[in-house]
Amino acid sequence: MKKLYTKGRASIEFDSPVFFESCASITGPKEGQGPLKDCFDAICKDPTFGCDTWEAAESAMQKESAQMAIGKAGLSPAAIRMVFAGDLLAQTIASSFGIAGMGIPFYGLYGACSTMGEALSLGAMTIAGGYAEHTLCATSSHFASAEKEFRFPLGYGNQRPLSASWTVTGSASCILGQTPPKETHPNSMPLRKGSCCAAITGITTGKLTDYGLKDSLNMGGCMAPAACDTISQHLTDFGRSPSDYDAIFTGDLGYVGKKILIDLLLAKDIDITKQHQDCGILIFDADTQDTHAGGSGCGCSAVVLAGYILPGILSGKWKRVLFVPTGALLSKVSFNEGDTVPGIAHAVVIEQKEV
């Protein structure tokens, strides 16, 4: 019997850290006017990214973030053994026509807005198990392709309830590797500051959690129970308390979901009020940007991770964070057939490592 790295019911603790070699983020113009505007690698003024359709725009953005991340790591696409990627669209076409076309062995994922958590989890297992030298984890979302996919035509101009979130137009890619990143040539920009690196040390795999909500314009409410389940499972599995983390970032619960999450966890005697931040709240200024409950979409937690969280870990702002992207497993077919909107959340422990 081989050694097991499992921990508790749903977690894994790696015996050696899996390093972030690089990361890259690209967003649309609205995200480029928000509070995190100085964090992203690129902000495209044109939300079509020069393409004819919203889906092609999302694919272009995803490919661009992947190419940037590969370049920043000082690698070529041929050095990447596997890509883990997905998006929100039916049959994940943003990825099929985006990153999947780069000629790299490809595993397509569907985890709704939790995709970056799923990709990092699988990417880290693959690296830690010795099955890849470098993996690329990527995702994207686009406001216009998501509205078309899930809600109303943009031209219809429907009114959005205050519980609705605004899908982030953005894509981020991360390169994971076994060894600490290093500068290979003057143009590379590895994710390293002196001897400080960012690394994944553990994960908790989410379970589908369904409290019976059916409101596709209240994604935060649908996903909060899943975030609660994953965070409490994580703390139990690792025998940790919230104070063992400098910050706990959920993906895109927004203002509505954040309140529900805090309340649900308090009912389990877990208080994360001091540590909790939500990527969907961080990315937009709700007062001036008319984004109601906050940002959402696969791209939301992904660009906040690449643009804000990982740099903050390098700079010593946080030594250990729990990154918990949250997804709502909604489709227009299941919605129209009267089904609920179940949620899922995957947790990734990211730590500062001196090397």
Q: Is 276 helix (H, G, I), strand (E, B) or coil?
A: strand
Nearer to a second copy, 3 or 185 (CB): 3
* Cα–Cα dist 126/155, whole Å: 44
Residue ranges binding a second copy (CB under 8 A): 1-6, 9-10, 12, 16, 53, 55-56, 78, 81-82, 86, 88-93, 96-97, 100-101, 103-112, 118, 121-122, 125-126, 128-133, 149, 178-179, 205-208, 210, 329-334, 337, 339, 342, 344
Nearer to a second copy, 43 or 119 (CB): 119
- Vertex 112 angle, CA 11 and 138, to 5°: 80
Q: How far is CA 48 from CA 27, 195, 237, 301, in A?
A: 11, 40, 44, 21
Cβ atoms within 10 Å of 7's Cβ, excluding its own: 17
Smallest separation, CB 301 to a second copy (Å)? 16
Cβ atoms of residues 83 and 135 within 8 Å? yes
* Cα–Cα dist 194/249, whole Å: 25
Location of structure tokens 């392709």:
145
Which pair of structure tokens corresponds to residue 48?
A: 């079509």
Cβ atoms of residues 134 and 177 within 8 Å? yes
Nearer to a second copy, 89 or 321 (CB): 89
Nearer to a second copy, 16 or 184 (CB): 16
Question: Is 290 exposed, middle or buried, given 0-12, 13-18 or 19+ CB atoms closer than 10 A?
Answer: exposed
User: Crossing angle of helices 54-72/143-150, nearest 10°?
Assistant: 130
* Cα–Cα dist 281/272, whole Å: 16
Q: How many CA atoms lie within 13 A of 264 on its CB side?
A: 19
